[in-house]
Structure 1
Amino acid sequence: MKWLWIDAICIDQSNLEERASQVAMMKDIYSNASGVVIWLGDSDVRLEAALVAIYAISKKFQADTGMAAACIVGPDGLRLDPTSIEHLQSYGLFEILSNTPENIYKLLAHLFALPWFRRVWVLQEAFAHSKITVRLGEHKLPWGSVILAALWASGFTRTYTAMSASEHRVERTIDRGYLPELWLGLLHTRPVRGLSILELVSRARDFEASDPRDKVFALLGLANDVGAHESRAAGLRPDYTKTKGEVYAAFAKDLIMTSGCLDVLALVNTFAPRDQRQDSPSWMPDLDVPIATIRGLGFPRKYNAGFSTKADMHHVTGPSDDPRSLMLTGFGVDRVHYVTKSILTFSRNLKVYIDSTTEAVTELWKTYARFNRLHASEEALLYAYIELVTATGFAMPTAFPTYPLGRIVPPREVPSIIADFAAYWSSVEPSFSSFGDRLGSHLRQLAEAADAEQFGVLAGKACHERKFFITAEGRIGLCPTDAQEGDEVVILYGGSVPYVLRETGAGCWTFVGECFVDGIMFGEAEKFRRPAQVFHLL
């Protein structure tokens, strides 16, 4: 006889106090079990074919390395070095299964699109124990086999998804048909280093939870920076008596209080019109909205606009401790002078558009950026412009396993960024006639051996659902879609990027969102630092 603990049965879901108490114990419950069984559901023809591919990958990997799939995950995490992972991702699989990588990818995508892989609570199941068995219909396999297949697929994801819509009809399930990167990050980091709570909630936003409050509560036990349950701030403890909005606001405020950093403000949904968020504080991150972490400017950190300052703890909560109020200290640096009417959008052909037909990267340069007078030369101005349109940065692929979720660096640290820009530009304007003769000739040469698609992806991440703007002092930048002429551009202590705020009267401000502003992203604003001002955000 075997004893099974099943959370949906063993926790009284109607008892809020019991739910909060048991949620705080989930990590211990799973880690102290003799083993964990994962039930993915019933099988079908495509899932059966996916299992054949998974078994084949595991068998070849064991033959090549001597390491069985059941042994690649241990108490300390993933037992694979970068060389082994590169070797795994080199498999073409045609020689094993007489099938193309594209078809194998589709089969695995069907498996990884199963609902189980997107449920936020299952992260506890999969990472609190190293002895895990996966069941799919009548089949049983080690969790390590699933991980090997996921690692293989992750190396193929960009190659496949970067193909244009005209070449491949990509089903909706393919769009989400990969093991989320958060899984692989947790695999490598447990329990030695772990991940921060901000990293967890940010990367789990597209996971599913029947109760949106669990987008915070389900992840607290996996975080490496929140401490023991009894010593945490109230916003970092499960409390089902609070509404979703109260949970998210308290989480953000207490995270700022405990860390001194404003990174959590990068999670505010500035891609939706403000009138759709009127019931929430403007600064509250709605973690129930699936927004990819890679679209943020202020998180993961890659800039230092706030010149390494910390948030002023005396002002964060405000005198009344109003849960809808957030008080932050900083100073104004500029104002929004002009904002494009159209929102920038990223197309499936890997191009950025400023309307349905006008390519944006070339148009913004021709119409606005090249006339900027804050840079001494055309080359310097172009490099600044390239940094702007790729402002969300680049995940360095060589950083695994030290940074299992990727080390995000600013565009200026990407060696190929200028050449890739040239290749992208060449696909729109092969003559390079928008540049001077010398620079145009140089870009034309660089374009010959560069990656236009990579630049398109980088520009798409940064520009999609944002607007281009010019400040009163002539700086160029990217801002939230709700930004308006007259809005204030500010440096807030504890932040790594500038922010756009709007004064609403009576000394109160609306948080419009984070922004990129050329010339103040790396601490330059410290040179013209003004007296500190308290911004009362509602």
Structure 2
Amino acid sequence: MYSLLVESIDDAPDFEALSYLWGQEMSPSPILCNGVEKTVTRNLEEALKGLRKPPSWDAVPTWPRTHPLHSERHAWRSKGDAASLLQMPVWADALCINQEDAKERTQQVKLMGRIYRQARTVKIWLGDKSRPRPRPPKADPVHYHLAELGGTPVVLSFLAQALRNPQDGENSLLALRLAEDRLHRNHVHGLLAPAAEEWTVLRDFFANPYFRRVWIVQEVAVAGRAEAIVGDWRLDWAAIGRAASWFARNGYALPRASRLGLTKQPSSNDLVPVGEAAALWDIHRAPDRRTTLLTLLKEFRMRQAGQDVDRLYATLGIAEETAGLGRSGEGGLHSLLEPDYEKPLLDVYRDATRYLIVKHGSLRVLCHVDNGPTKTVPDWPSWVPDWRQAKVSSEIWDAEETGARLAAAGDEPVVFGAVSHESRLSLGGREVDRVRSYGLKLESYGVGHVTYMQEREFVQAAWKLAMRAAQGASGGEEGPRSKPDLLATFVEVLTAGAKATSSMGDALGWLAKHLEDGALTNRIRNLPRWDQKGDAGRFHEVFVRFCTGRRFFVTDKGRIGIGPEPMAEGNRVVVLFGSRVPFVLREVGLRFKLVGECYVAGLMEGQAIAEGGNSREGDAEFELA
């Protein structure tokens, strides 16, 4: 039996807030709330019971309460502690918000951040059981001792080791072997070999559907204190988050394409789906526990939402742009972001896109458009990202993180033109070239330490296109004509201009091994700038990151680049003012469809703008439909 209390948020008593996965399965038995039967999901019913489960025995904490890995199995210090914990009110959104009232839900959405900030503890419900795993035949009893006790002790051992390792910088011992030597890497980090069965336990833990829910990001990120519950176990969320972030930074995260379910599962056993938990921890550590709206929308694209508008609404309590939201939920929100559960989805996403362009004076949001085969709504505006759809390609604009210099439009600000319909966007820019031919789309597992056949075929086809472009280039400056120049430009394109994580020596080492061009590979080995100690795996990771889901292409003027999968011959390469990258546009009548962003050597540092000088002769308006 449960009681529903009505309290003012400005004068509320101490309370706990529940963060959980709603789930689809309903409980066979309704709960009794204030004498009224209420049907809830099975997961909520189990979570409420788990929060109020009385201690079944006394236990000793495995770590002191001040330790980040402190955990208990219902080990309260006294009966008084137990009583206070059992009596503390709990906020559960499914019960505390009238889910049948769209206006109430709209209002409460703007208060969610404050509610979870104000909670004494946010309780993260991960499920009721930590199941023991059977011991394999002829196994060493000592080696499998933790697994026999259940999955949680195994998970704790991984978390503990991750927290023991240096949290910043790179372990110098890793440089003794190449990046693809994962056995050496695990040994240096004090972890089990990649083939060890225990990695499966860790994968199962982070594969919990809870971590993929959009609303939990806000609920946990803003929490003053959060505690994860797995059956009888209580784990400090800070330990889970810090460890997940360490695994992600050190190459143990499942690749983006695999996380999205767009490729098969990689063969490496020690790749773990920690991406969602790591992103959650990074937001929790951000100043004021807020991050940019576009960063959140990109992250939420990879998560699950009960309603697709929640991919935006779940950001409102933690986005930098909404920091002025009032204590009562009023004010501080631009009209384009105002939540409204009766508003059509397309209008919600379109208004958010327009808001980001106007607010920041930047076209960065257009880089998140994916008009490939996964697009399911034919009349969706080509310039509006559909945050429901998975996008396997990384944004080229993000190559700035690797040291790339991106300034295709120079210092030119965004220029808006008049439109006849709200579904259109008119932008000023300059057409600089057209697509002449293109190669294969790169389909990759995204595992940076393994080279797959598809990756070799992609590079082989791209090199042939680049060679033909160089041989057929006119006397202009656009087409590199000598092999050393072409090779450097080719590497630049494959890595989207990355400088910080990939040296020429790294690239040449990989190309000499995998490119089927005997004359070229011999030439590579004789180049004085080829560092024999280059790490081919390091180049491969960057190349796979930026080329996956894209095609290599050449232009009418002999330029080479990488661009979106649905590009076609004759598509225009345009530098839109206010953008750091060029875009591929397709002419449709008097208007254009945005195909996607691209990287084109010779256009990335404002050359197209500089060539025109003060003249605006080449400027035009491009109305995107």
Q: Does the pair score TM above 0.5? A: yes
Q: What is aligned with 1:291?
A: 391
User: Which amino acid in 2 is paired with 1:533?
Assistant: A
Tell me the equivalent position of 1:363: 461
Select 2:558's aligned residue among 474, 483, 490: 474
1:24 aligns with 2:110: yes
Which one-letter code corresponds to 1:494 in the other structure?
G
User: 1:127 aligned to 2:221?
Assistant: yes
Distance 1:246 1:149 in 2: 39
1:185 to 255, 278, 282: 282
**Distance (Å, rounded) in 2 between the aligned partners of 1:262 and 1:181:** 27
Q: 1:269 aligns with which of 364, 370, 374?
A: 370
Quick check: 1:281 aligned with 2:367? no
SS of the counterpart of 1:332? strand
How far does the alpha carbon of each residue in 1:129-180 deviate from its partner, in whole angstroms, 9 at most, with x for none? 1211111111112112212432443355349979xx9997457x96635544
Match of 2:584 in 1: 500
Q: Secondary structure at the match of 1:533?
A: strand
Question: Per the alignment, in what secondary structure is the counterpart of residue 450 of structure 1?
Answer: coil
Report the more deviating stretch, 151-160 or 200-209.
Answer: 151-160
Structure 1 match to 2:177: none
How far is 1:433 from its partner? 1.8
* 3-state SS of paired residue (1:479): strand
Equivalent residue, structure 2, for 1:42: 128
- Other-structure match for 1:254: 355
In the alignment, which of 597, 601, 606 is matched to residue 523 of structure 1?
606
Contact persistence 1:110–1:174 (CA under 8 A): no
Measured in 1, the distance between the counterparts of 2:335 and 2:371 equals: 26
Q: 1:49 to 1:34 in 2, by over 3 A?
A: same
Q: How far 1:328 sits from its partner (Å)?
A: 1.1
Percent of pairs with identical residues: 27
Could you say which structure has the larger radius of gyration?
A: 2
Give 1:528 deviation, angstroms: 2.6
Relative distance call for 1:419 and 1:93 in structure 2 (3 A) is closer
Q: Is the 8 A contact 2:561 2:598 kept in 1?
A: yes
User: How far 1:417 moved relative to its partner?
Assistant: 2.7
Instruction: List per-residue Cα deviations over 1:61-116 (Å, max 9, x = no partner).
Output: 88x79xxxxxxxxxxxxxx96269999xx99699999x546544432221111011
Q: Does 1:153 align with 2:247?
A: yes
Matches within 5 A, 1:74-223: 82=168, 99-100=192-193, 103=196, 104-158=198-252, 169=267, 176-191=273-288, 194-223=290-319
Structure 2 equivalent of residue 395 of structure 1: none
Q: What do the CA deviations read for 1:309-363 (whole angstroms, capped 9, x no partner)? A: 32225x3xx444x3311111112111122233x423225784476xx69622133
TM-score of the pair, normalised by structure 2: 0.69
Task: Map 1:322-471; keep pairs closer than 5 Å.
Answer: 322-340=421-439, 342-346=440-444, 350-351=450-451, 359-369=457-467, 371-372=469-470, 373=473, 374-375=479-480, 377-391=482-496, 410-414=497-501, 416-429=502-515, 432-434=518-520, 437=523, 439-442=524-527, 446=531, 448-471=532-555
TM-aligned CA deviation for residue 457 of structure 1 = 2.6
- In structure 2, the CA distance between the partners of 1:368 and 1:155, relative to structure 1 (3 Å rule), is closer
Query: 1:375 Cα deviation (Å)?
Result: 2.8
Matched residue SS, 1:41: coil
Higher relative CO (CA 8 A, sep ≥ 6), structure 1 or 2?
1
Distance 1:58-1:457 versus aligned 2 partners, 3 A rule: closer
Length-normalised TM-score, structure 1 = 0.80
- Equivalenced residue count is 486
Distance in structure 1 (CA, Å) of the matches to 2:188 and 2:437 = 55
For the 8 Å contact 1:370–1:381, the answer to whether it is kept is: no
Looking at structure 1, the residues matched to 533 and 456 of structure 2 have their Cα atoms a distance apart, in angstroms, of 26
Does the aligned pair in 2 maintain the 1:113–1:178 contact within 8 Å?
no
SS in 2 for 1:434: helix
Amino acid at match of 2:128: D
Structure 2: segments with no counterpart, 5+ residues: 1-86, 134-146, 174-183, 257-262, 326-330, 474-478
Counterpart-to-counterpart distance in 2, 1:84 and 1:297: 25
Say yes or no: does 1:306 pair with 2:409: yes
| Other-structure match for 1:72 | none
Q: Secondary structure at the match of 1:305?
A: coil
- Distance (whole Å) between structure 1 residues aligned to residue 504 and residue 189 of structure 2: 38
Note the C-alpha offset of 1:490.
0.8
Against the structure 1 CA distance between its residues 180 and 247, is the aligned structure 2 distance closer, same or farther, given a 3 Å change threshold?
A: same
Cα deviation digits, residues 23-68 of structure 1 (max 9, x gap): 1111111111122111111222359644214434666788x79xxx
Cα 1:368–1:216, aligned 2, differ >3 Å: closer, same or farther?
same
Q: Which residue in the other structure is 2:592 paired with?
A: 509
State the SS of the aligned residue for 1:345.
coil
Give the letter aligned to residue 499 of structure 2: R
Quick check: 2:214–2:304 contact (8 Å CA) kept in 1?
A: yes
SS of alignment partner, residue 339 of structure 1: strand
User: Quick check: which one's helix share is greater?
Assistant: 1
Please report how far the alpha carbon of residue 450 of structure 1 lies from its aligned counterpart in structure 2 after TM superposition: 2.8
Query: What SS does structure 1 have at the residue aligned with 2:520?
Result: coil
Distance in 1 separating the partners of 2:442 and 2:264 = 22
* Structure-2 separation of matches of 1:259 and 1:95: 41
Does structure 2 retain, via aligned residues, the 8 Å contact 1:335–1:488?
Answer: yes
Measured in 2, the distance between the counterparts of 1:96 and 1:516 equals 40
* Partner Cα separation in structure 2 for residue 86 and residue 191 of structure 1: 34
Other-structure match for 2:624 = 537
Aligned residue for 2:6?
A: none
Letter in 2 for 1:133: E
Worse-superposed segment, 376-385 or 236-245: 376-385
Cα pair 2:241 2:277 within 8 Å, conserved: no
Give the Cα separation in 1 of the matches to 2:562 and 2:150. 45
Q: CA deviation at 1:280?
A: 0.6
Shift of 1:118: 0.9
